[in-house]
């Protein structure tokens, strides 16, 4: 396996993954996806409290490596999906908060990968596009599903059918990205946000993430049940108990002070 195509770096409690195929605009070859799958189960990542994913060079990612399509057969595609095709689901299922730091091109499978993160922070240089249908395929790494959840059916169809390139401001306007920064600061801002998130109680954050993600796929009743079960699991932890005690005693003393 060529692990050099995905960098893994710890910055304190944050793990930064970097797609490293800059001469091919970080096109997601089988080798990149295999290295990404391996990075997701690495100790550096598993022991981190938040994850940032970014691209080296002038793009986040230009999507699936189209040169590999030429040699693909139905059997090899099936083998690929069995081996590493679920890597975006693996990324989406991480219990830590995840942030995609996007600059330059964010195309096709690259955009789908970013959709699997909790937040997308775009530099003003970011350009988004889903070109798949023009080459006879469709977004197939969870993208159609996630786009509908995130943007609604009509916007998802606009991006997939019309394949128009949109810039960072438009991506923010339609809700595709959560924040836009200028001057190439997407990675710095993502690490800053991740560092803040890494300081929060990990169990509460991961259950909040699971509950919110499950909510979108559940009935209202099932969603409320998930929320209550998560609350019940968290409310009795020593962390929650001591935080409540601190809050109550702080309130008591400040109330006492003001009434004195
Ligand atoms: N797969 C394989 N190689 C890719 C690639 C991809 N998806 N996207 C870019 N590259 C390669 C180019 O072939 C080129 O390689 P070379 O220098 O050896 O010729 C290099 O990356 C730079 O790309 P280039 O096209 O010169 O950059 P650009 O800035 O002019 O254009 C894009 C950027 C993203 C608009 C253009 O590269 C593109 O349309 N790429 C294909 C996007 C795509 O169809 N993705 C698959 C969808 S799932």
Give yes or no: residues 238 and 131 share one domain.
no
| 39-44 average pLDDT score | 97
**Can 132 be counted among the known catalytic residues?**
yes
Residue nearest to atom 16 of ligand 1 (CA): 24
Give yes or no: residues 235 and 182 share one domain.
no
| 101-129 average pLDDT score | 97
Domain boundary pick from 146, 167, 198: 198
Compute, in angstroms, the gap from residue 123 CA to the centroid of ligand 1.
Answer: 20
Q: What is the DSSP string of 167-188?
A: EHHHHHHTTS-SEEESTT-HHH
What does the angle CA 209 – CA 16 – CA 196 come to, to the nearest 5 degrees?
Answer: 55
Which among 126, 124, 121, 12 is positioned nearest to 62, based on CA atoms? 126
Which phi-psi region, left, alpha or beta, contains residue 25 (left: φ > 0; alpha: ψ -120 to 50)?
left
Give yes or no: residues 108 and 210 share one domain.
no
| Inside any domain, residue 118 | yes
- Does this model's pTM top 0.85? yes
Separation between Cα atoms, residue 27 and residue 55, nearest integer Å:
10
Which phi-psi region, left, alpha or beta, contains residue 24 (left: φ > 0; alpha: ψ -120 to 50)?
alpha
202-223 pLDDT, tens digit per residue, is 999 999 999 999 988 899 999 8
Give yes or no: residues 193 and 208 share one domain.
no
Lowest mean pLDDT among 102-111, 175-184, 198-207, 211-220: 211-220
Is pLDDT at 260 greater than 80 in this prediction? Answer: no
Contact (Cβ atoms closer than 8 angstroms) between residue 80 and residue 125:
no
**Can 164 be counted among the known catalytic residues?**
no
| Inside any domain, residue 146 | yes
258 band by pLDDT with thresholds 50, 70 and 90:
very low
Please report the pLDDT score of residue 252 as a whole number.
59
Give yes or no: residues 209 and 180 share one domain.
no
Question: Tokens representing 30?
Answer: 């089988």
Contact (Cβ atoms closer than 8 angstroms) between residue 32 and residue 26:
yes
Please report the pLDDT score of residue 253 as a whole number.
53
Question: Tokens representing 140?
Answer: 């197939």
Give yes or no: residues 67 and 148 share one domain.
yes
Question: Backbone phi, then psi, for 162, in 5-degree steps?
Answer: -85, -25
| Inside any domain, residue 134 | yes
Which atom of ligand 1 is the closest one to the Cα of 66?
1
If you count them, how many residues does the chain have? Answer: 260
Pocket perturbation via mutation, ligand 1, pick of 24, 28, 62 by most ligand atoms within 8 A of CB: 62
Give yes or no: residues 224 and 192 share one domain.
no
Which atom of ligand 1 is the closest one to the Cα of 105?
34
Give yes or no: residues 113 and 225 share one domain.
no
Give yes or no: residues 29 and 139 share one domain.
yes
- The CATH code of the domain that includes 76 is 3.90.226.10
Tell whether ligand 1 has an atom less than 6 A from the beta carbon of residue 105.
Answer: yes
Q: Which DSSP state fits 97?
A: -
Tell whether ligand 1 has an atom less than 6 A from the beta carbon of residue 65.
Answer: yes
| Inside any domain, residue 77 | yes
Domain boundary pick from 171, 198, 225: 198
pLDDT > 70 in the chain, percent: 95
| Inside any domain, residue 80 | yes
Tell whether ligand 1 has an atom less than 6 A from the beta carbon of residue 67.
Answer: yes
Please report the pLDDT score of residue 256 as a whole number.
38
| Inside any domain, residue 34 | yes
| Inside any domain, residue 1 | no
Residue nearest to atom 10 of ligand 1 (CA): 24
Compute, in angstroms, the gap from residue 68 CA to the centroid of ligand 1.
Answer: 13
Give yes or no: residues 104 and 138 share one domain.
yes
Separation between Cα atoms, residue 112 and residue 98, nearest integer Å:
14
SS3 96: coil
Please report the pLDDT score of residue 257 as a whole number.
36
64-81 pLDDT, tens digit per residue, is 998 987 788 888 888 777
Give yes or no: residues 108 and 232 share one domain.
no
Is pLDDT at 154 greater than 80 in this prediction? Answer: yes
| Inside any domain, residue 153 | yes
Give yes or no: residues 126 and 180 share one domain.
yes
The total of structural domains in the chain comes to 2
Tell whether ligand 1 has an atom less than 6 A from the beta carbon of residue 66.
Answer: yes
Supply the range of the domain harboring residue 88.
6-198
Compute, in angstroms, the gap from residue 93 CA to the centroid of ligand 1.
Answer: 29
Separation between Cα atoms, residue 43 and residue 151, nearest integer Å:
34
Which atom of ligand 1 is the closest one to the Cα of 65?
1
Question: Tokens representing 50?
Answer: 């938040």
Tell whether ligand 1 has an atom less than 6 A from the beta carbon of residue 104.
Answer: no
Please report the pLDDT score of residue 76 as a whole number.
82
Question: Backbone phi, then psi, for 241, in 5-degree steps?
Answer: -60, -45
The CA radius of gyration of the chain, in Å to the nearest whole number, is: 20
Domain boundary pick from 176, 198, 220: 198
Tell whether ligand 1 has an atom less than 6 A from the beta carbon of residue 107.
Answer: yes
Please report the pLDDT score of residue 84 as a whole number.
66
């Amino acid at each position: 396996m060529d692990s050099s195509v995905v960098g893994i770096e710890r910055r304190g409690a944050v793990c930064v993954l970097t797609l490293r195929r800059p001469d091919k605009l970080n096109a997601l070859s089988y080798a990149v996806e295999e290295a990404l799958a391996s990075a997701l189960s690495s100790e550096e990542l598993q022991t981190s409290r938040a994850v940032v994913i970014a691209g080296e060079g002038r793009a986040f990612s230009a999507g699936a490596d189209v040169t590999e399509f030429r040699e693909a057969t139905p059997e090899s595609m099936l083998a690929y999906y069995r081996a590493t095709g679920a890597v975006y689901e693996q990324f989406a299922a991480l219990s830590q908060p995840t942030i995609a730091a996007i600059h330059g091109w964010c195309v096709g499978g690259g955009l789908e990968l970013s959709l699997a993160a909790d937040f997308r922070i775009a530099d003003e240089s970011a350009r988004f596009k889903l070109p798949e249908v023009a080459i006879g395929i469709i977004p197939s790494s969870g993208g159609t599903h996630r786009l509908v959840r995130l943007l609604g059916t009509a916007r998802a169809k606009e991006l997939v059918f019309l394949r128009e390139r949109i810039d960072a401001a438009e991506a923010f306007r339609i809700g595709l990205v959560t924040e836009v920064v200028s001057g190439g600061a997407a990675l710095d801002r993502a690490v800053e946000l991740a560092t803040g998130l890494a300081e929060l109680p990990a169990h509460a954050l991961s259950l909040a993430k699971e509950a919110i993600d499950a909510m979108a796929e559940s009935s209202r009743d099932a969603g409320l049940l998930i929320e209550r079960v998560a609350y019940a699991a968290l409310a009795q932890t020593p962390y929650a108990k001591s935080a409540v005690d601190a809050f109550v005693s702080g309130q008591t003393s400040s109330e006492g002070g003001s009434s004195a």
